Amino acid sequence: MISPDDVCAVIVTRGNVDLGPILATLPYSEIRVWNDRWRGSQGCYGRYLAAWPTCKPFTYYQDDDLLFTAHHELLAAYEPDKIVCNMPSPWYETTGYDILDQCLVGAGSIMDSSIPYPAIDRYLNTYPADNLFFDYVDVAVGMLTPYTRLDLGYQVLPYASEPGRIYTTPGAAERKAEMQRRVMELRGR
């Protein structure tokens, strides 16, 4: 098992939520909060910007709309060169993630700190850094990187379906499908 002292935790928020319950669960020595409302329009890409300057060998990622507490189980499941993600079966069975061979980064995941960047570079070598990229880069990382999926569970927080979340905005499903299409083209090359 890797040590929590070797992990940088990145929590992504859209602001206006109490991160206290989430932060209280984190056993990691370095914690960074990426607030999209403060940092402009970087969207989901912000989680990777927040992690970029860390000197920790591992990074933990979580979104602000759920509470994940199985950190020691996640750390024990770490695998080199893979994303190890918490992705409960009922969730991915209803979203199409399994069909498209994609992992979920924001529900609690651990990986080598360098893992996302080759996938991001591969994507940007073909497609632009446009709004679709900034909002759905996790789709590219999750589809272009080997992963292991675990079912460690989580608690959905009350504000998860409030307006302003990427997946609750009009056209979100179509935009995600376009990102998946782009990445499927990359995988076919």
What CATH code is carried by the domain that includes residue 52?
A: 3.90.550
Q: How confident is the model at residue 183 (pLDDT cuts 50, 70, 90)?
A: very high
Note the pLDDT of residue 35: 83
Per DSSP, which regions of 36-100 are E strands? 58-63, 66-67, 83-86
Note the pLDDT of residue 53: 86
The DSSP bridge pattern shows strands 58-63 and 7-13 to be parallel
pLDDT tens, position by position, 3-35: 999 999 999 887 778 899 999 999 999 999 988
Note the pLDDT of residue 57: 97
As a whole-number percent, the residues of the chain with pLDDT over 70 amount to 85
Which residues form the domain of 141?
4-188
Note the pLDDT of residue 124: 97
Of the listed ranges 20-29, 100-109, 160-169, the least confidently predicted one is: 160-169
Distance CA 145, CA 118 (A): 9
Distance CA 110, CA 101 (A): 18
pLDDT tens, position by position, 49-103: 888 889 999 999 999 888 999 999 999 999 999 999 998 776 666 666 666 688 8
Model confidence, pTM: 0.90
Average pLDDT of span 38-59? 84
- Give the type of residue at 8: C
Distance CA 183, CA 131 (A): 15
> Is residue 168's pLDDT more than 60?
no
Note the pLDDT of residue 37: 66
> Is residue 154's pLDDT more than 60?
yes
As a whole-number percent, the residues of the chain with pLDDT over 90 amount to 54
Q: How many domains does the chain have?
A: 1
